[in-house]
Structure 1
């Protein structure tokens, strides 16, 4: 039997049949609630297993499952874990799936866009994918992904900012006041090779050949391995580091490296870098 109640300007439909758990979902209109209730009753009577109740599941719960089952299989695993931890701290994560509306996400967009268009765009895309995984793979009865009704911010062109000579000297001076051992070699090797951050942080000593003056990158952004020549400057940076066979050249995570870099830039008094 289905029941529809009006609560806080919205309509909550509940389907309760003997021998099955109650299933509840909230809608903007009575018509949508009624149609959903009718279809749900037909599904249950037809032997379709009841989906998890969306009223009882929050976005935070989905994030916890996503970070365990989906994120570890991505290339930028550590970076995404950091992004998900930040999402969990935002009020958006406390909403149940039934109450996670497009307007809630627009409010989230207004908060997050203060951190930049790119950050906001990535976070909305990530929330959208979490909901799609819940719909298509985890069996949640979510008829519509509310992220689709939220216009994502336009992505700005890639940054072309170059480090000036005086800025380099400021960084060199500021790094003397940090105890992060790997930071300055990481900065210098990035300058010397123009390697991507993910490539540098995944670099292992076994992929560095000082004799051949090359670095082997087994998993580049386009999915194909490549070998790059390195300059005498890069050789000098690498020779000055403590090598450990089979280990990473820079034993840190993407989020830790980013935070160390931001602190260094602030300490050096450099803007827009």
Structure 2
């Protein structure tokens, strides 16, 4: 603890009672500046005043504060960083979420480079808005602008990390994501093949040299299954006699038992069986298939299908064909294993035939009818 004279020219502290600065040699004026310096628990407290009497008063006050322990306060612990939350979240999400690899990809490629080392209480809504603007202006590794859905995924994942940190007692501050408006999406695509495109695809598949690839596409076309569901399908899941199959853990639902059409059974019977494997649509060396991009691209080119027509479009075509033929949306929902009717509602506009039949039926139902008149004899007598 000390009181020093402050040199106004070179900003040096000199001992009390000095006539001139020990550093620059300048004499001190009558209106000296005094600095009170106190050290307590690693802290350095400095006060600068205009007279010695006030400096001594402040020195005495600071001494009293130290005695009372006012400076013996622990420094607030900084909030957990996003990376620390992620390291706790990853083992949990691997067990509890089927699409955890998507979370891992989004975090490593987008959130980690920007926010990983930031404590949760230092990330502001402005930081997140700035992050989204940067993504909107940026491009993916393929050189294409990021889709609104991709940007939204980042905000959704960031929101989830804040939420689990709060649920697990790791963080008790604000969630800045709640003050950020997520990008609006309008990417609901309903694809279907024209009659010519379907004929062309079927012609190519009939002559295609790789029967497994051809069978994969035909089975998808006749069942509307998702690509991942075909990858997981085993011979144990199929009953050819009863023409049914069990989908194990389909997207968002419990196991589902679905019927198989005659064509679907025909496809299964035509598949090659070069390996002793449980997988129906196996990959290299009989192992479980994990991708179908290459075969699909080659068959799509051979059939002359639009470049942007996806394999998932066959699922849409399956549903569109059924709805257009008059099959009700509830039945289509069950066949597609949709979690709720909202997903199937995208096909509602295709139900033209059903709506037209209903309108035509209304003509006969709403025509003028001949009504047989029944006379109430008691009422007739009373009237007389």
For Structure 1 versus Structure 2, the TM-score category normalised by the shorter chain is 0.5 to 0.7
- Residues 206-258 of structure 1, C-alpha deviations (whole Å, 9 max, x = no match): 111122221112434463443222223322332304375655745244xx45x
The alpha-carbon deviation at position 106 of structure 1 amounts to: 1.9
User: Which of structures 1 and 2 has the larger relative contact order (alpha carbons within 8 angstroms, sep 6+)?
Assistant: 1
Question: What is the TM-score of this pair, normalised by structure 2?
Answer: 0.46
1:38-77 alignment runs, 5 A limit = 53-54=79-80, 57=81, 59-74=82-97, 77=98
| Aligned counterpart, 2:59 | none
CA distance 1:271–1:71, change in 2 (3 Å): same
Structure 1: runs of 5 or more not aligned: 4-15, 25-52
Deviation sequence 1:6-59 (CA, Å, 0-9, x none): xxxxxxxxxx977x77513xxxxxxxxxxxxxxxxxxxxxxxxxxxx43xx2x3
Task: Say yes or no: does 1:189 pair with 2:219.
Answer: yes
1:88 aligns to what? Answer: 108
| Larger-Rg structure | 2
From 237, 240, 243, the counterpart of 1:213:
243
2:77 to 7, 18, 23: 23
Alpha-carbon distance in structure 2 between the residues aligned to 1:135 and 1:199: 35
| 211-220 or 163-172, larger mean C-alpha shift | 163-172
Deviation of the 1:142 alpha carbon: 4.3
Counterpart position of 1:36: none
Correspondent of 2:260 among 230, 237, 257: 230
Over aligned residues, Cα RMSD in angstroms?
4.0
Q: State the distance in 1 between where 2:90 and 2:295 align.
A: 25
Deviations 1:184-227 (CA, angstroms, capped at 9, x unpaired): 54433221101234433332321111222211124344634432
Counterpart in the other structure of 1:270: 307
> Is 1:124 aligned to residue 155 of structure 2?
yes
Answer yes or no: is the 8 Å Cα contact 1:101–1:146 preserved in 2: yes
Counterpart position of 1:143 = 173
List alignment gaps of at least 5 residues for structure 2: 1-40, 44-70, 137-144, 283-287, 311-384
Count residues in correspondence. 216
